[in-house]
Amino acid sequence: MAPEKKVAENMLWGGRFTQGLDPVMEQYNASLPYDRLFYSQDIAGSIAFARANYNNGILTSSEFSAIQKGLAQVKDEWANNTFEVKQNDEDIHTANERRLSEIIGKEIGGKLHTGRSRNEQVATDMRLWLREELWRVESELVDLIKVAVSRAEAEIDILIPGYTHLQKAQPVRWSHWVLSHATGFLDCLSQLRQVISRVNRSPLGCGALAGNPFNIDRHAMAKELGFEALLPNSLNAVGDRDFVFETLQWGSAFMLKISRWAEDLIIYSSLEFGFVRLADAYSTGSSLMPQKKNADSLELIRGKSGRAFGHMAGLFCTIKGLPTTYNKDLQESVEPLIDHIKTVSDSILIATGVLSTLTVNAEKMRAALAPEMLATEFADYLVRKGVPFREGHHISGRVVALAESKGVPMDQLGLADLKGIDERLGDDVLECLDYERAVELKSATGGTSKSAVREQIDLLKKAISGEQ
């Protein structure tokens, strides 16, 4: 026997319909299982809207007072987990208004929605919730950058191979590697602050699509709710989900960066490298091989970047062909947004934990340096003697080739061997085989010398404190 259809009683749109919903359709349509997360934002928006209608003369003083007091009780019930969800509570807006009318009576409760549409209500709730979540994510990202800066300061003397194509290239400071990612995260922080500014604009007072007929003061409502500005066009305000899509774009870009950071540390923590060791709190073992210590925290960060990209791609496909203003397809922006924020936030917290607790093996890093990484130093040495770089590059290549032909590391070539390649390689040429010297010569802004790294540290400190 097919399930009995339910009458659309108590639903905000129920008066138009004489037949009930198919039970599967009712479940398909419902959003309360996830948009209940917005209960406090929905109540804040309702109070601001009721206050505006009181100022307009739509509500009396006693009616507004009753609505405000009733909504405070509804909020407490949600907060205390005593709110009783009813069968026809399809979303947080329906549930809150239904409960308000039970508390203060339908005659007054029924006036709350005067001039208001769920279309603007949904957009308002989402923006209020997202604004608060992004403020929290911003703070978490600042903490991650601070940890990176702190490590860079404390471990500035440690050298590590720098890689291109995953091949040893030139020696750099470990701090330089740490700051390379911190600088990328700082760019993300700057972009996030721009996203927050665009999220923090009010659609409240735009109605279903055409605006409000009661000359409601949108500026007053926006100020009460802490919005920076109004969305100026009612059609755009209720049908726009660019603020969600932009958030998902930002989160996807950040997850891309932190995934590459995680990949480096996964490699560095392997037995083959042994540069770092993760704390037990961020590692797991093998069910079969007791010697294993897996960097699962970092692998999950790397894996969850794909999940974040999926949120963005899915919403892009959902909204790309929609006609103007609100369509129910836009309900599909809510769940991905909620999961995306949690995914990004959790990833930042895990990354901060990993970076703040990992152990660096400076000896392993130093041992991984190879004399061949200093080949460019011979070319630079010759440049300082007036030799064109291309010629110097060719000569340094011959130094590498000679070491290979002799089957020895480059630093085991004698002075006579080097002078035999080119007479301009003088008695002081062996200085080119000093890793510390090679690193310290890279002193231009952005380089890996101590002075350049400290300059980067200072810039990052100023940036996260808001000084620039």
Residues with a catalytic annotation lie at 165, 286
Three-state secondary-structure class, residue 321: coil
- Strand segments (E) across 249-297: 276-277
CA distance 440 to 420: 28
Residue 173: strand pairing partners: 159
Return the half-sphere exposure (C-beta side, CA atoms, 13 A cut-off) of residue 392.
18
- Supply the DSSP symbol for 3: P
The dihedral sign for the CA sequence 267, 251, 344, 190: positive
CB-CB contact of 102 with 23 (8 Å): no
User: Residue 55, Cα to own-chain centre: how many angstroms?
Assistant: 40
CB atoms within 10 A of CB 363: 10
Q: Token pair 């309702």 is at which residue?
A: 46
CB atoms within 10 A of CB 248: 26
What tokens does 389 get? 């770089």
CB-CB contact of 23 with 104 (8 Å): no
Three-state secondary-structure class, residue 2: coil
The dihedral sign for the CA sequence 334, 335, 337, 341: positive
CA distance 79 to 294: 39
Residue 21: strand pairing partners: 6
Q: Which of 126, 122, 120, 100 is nearest to 112 (CA)?
A: 100
Amino acid sitting at position 97:
E
Report CA Rg, the chain. Answer: 31
Start-to-end Cα distance in the chain: 68
What tokens does 426 get? 């003088």
CA distance 389 to 377: 11
- Quick one: angle between helices 118-154 and 334-357, nearest 10? 10
